Structure 1
Amino acid sequence: MTKDRGKVWLGVAGVVTNSEGKWLVVKKKYSGLKGVWSLPAGFVQFGETADEAVVREIKEETGIDCEVTGLIGFRSGVIRNEISDNMAIFCCKQLHPSQSIQIQEEELFEAKWLSVEYLANSPKSSVMLREMASHELMHHQLYKVEGINPGEIFEYSTYKLFFNK
């Protein structure tokens, strides 16, 4: 299903780790990531924050419940000199270790837990995933601050900050 996102896109991706330190990765059935390992990802919808969107996307694609523990990075690019394509990349922790993967069959070929070493060295990993795994970016995440209000004048219904430790 194609949606009109305008010319400024905000996507999210999540590095979900399990109790063994493995990352949850997916093989998509579409786009430039078709058939290669990448992170569960998608677009932020109206009325949700970026961290809420990544939890929703991970659950929809893989059936795995997780929580956001921080922000790893931000990818930004321009497509065909026209579309601003931006993605917040979050660090997430699996909530239920015994929970099994259930893929969203319309979008994915498969999903599985793979080691960071495998992902860093595999030609079957996306460029972004190889780069992240190679540099152990999980150790450089920003932490989340919630429960603050910048002032009623702004009329935020949800407000969160991510800062360096």
Structure 2
Amino acid sequence: MLRRLAARVWHALRGTAQWRLLWLTNATFMVGVTGVVRDAEGRVLLLRHRMWPTDRQWGLPSGFAVRGEEFSRTVEREVKEETDLDVRAGELVRLKSGFRLRLEVAYEAELVGGALRLDPFEILDAGWFSPDALPDQLQPAHRALIHRSPEPG
């Protein structure tokens, strides 16, 4: 009987009220998006991030999706904002729940143009690295993405 009543109330609510109820009763996630940007020679773009811990400041271009943004577009926007490079997002390589209420998304991406100019507020340095010669201070999860291996536990 309770299920029938719940179903009647749900159907009576319709559209906007249903969405509002769902939004209030379910977790809201931030979506962190990362791009594994490779050039024509197979090198990977790494950035030394100002706001990251000093012992692991090197990492892939990353940022948060804005409401309504396609995640592949987030990669392209974040790379442009941080480096002024143009990339094209490709294959989705990771989708997982992250720390607390965070969803983590990663795409392979291809360099298609632009000239490297760093956003000095966020980025301290940048470089193209061979997957076999990555900096020691690289985020472990990003090392795994570059090599397409499982994340370290």
Q: Above 0.5 in TM-score?
A: yes
Task: Tell me what 1:16 maps to.
Answer: 37
Whether 2:131 is the aligned partner of 1:116: answer yes
Query: Percentage identity across aligned positions?
Result: 26
CA distance in 1, matches of 2:72, 2:54: 22
Gaps of 5+ in 2: 1-26
Written as runs of structure 1 = structure 2, the 5 A alignment for 1:47-126 is: 47-78=68-99, 83-96=100-113, 99-119=114-134, 122-126=135-139
Contact 2:36–2:145 (CA under 8 A) maintained in structure 1 = no
- Letter paired with 2:139: S
Contact 1:33–1:126 (CA under 8 A) maintained in structure 2 = no
Contact 2:56–2:138 (CA under 8 A) maintained in structure 1 = no
Distance 1:27 1:103, change over 3 A: same
CA distance in 1, matches of 2:55, 2:64: 17
TM-score by length of 1: 0.67
CA distance in 2, matches of 1:65, 1:24: 12
Report SS of the residue matched to 1:123. Answer: coil
Distance 1:51 1:84, change over 3 A: same
CA distance in 2, matches of 1:91, 1:33: 26
Contact 2:55–2:137 (CA under 8 A) maintained in structure 1 = no
CA distance in 2, matches of 1:33, 1:131: 20
CA distance in 1, matches of 2:54, 2:96: 15
Task: Tell me what 1:152 maps to.
Answer: none
C-alpha distance after superposition, 1:100-155 (max 9, x if no partner): 31111000101111111112xx4221111222234469xxxxxxxxxxxxxxxxxx
Distance 1:102 1:92, change over 3 A: same
Report SS of the residue matched to 2:101. Answer: strand
Task: Tell me what 1:153 maps to.
Answer: none
Distance 1:34 1:123, change over 3 A: closer
Gaps of 5+ in 1: 1-5, 138-165
- Letter paired with 2:119: Q
CA distance in 2, matches of 1:59, 1:104: 9
C-alpha distance after superposition, 1:67-117 (max 9, x if no partner): 112111124223xxxx31221100111112xx3311110001011111111
Decide which structure has greater helix share.
Answer: 2
Report SS of the residue matched to 2:98. Answer: strand
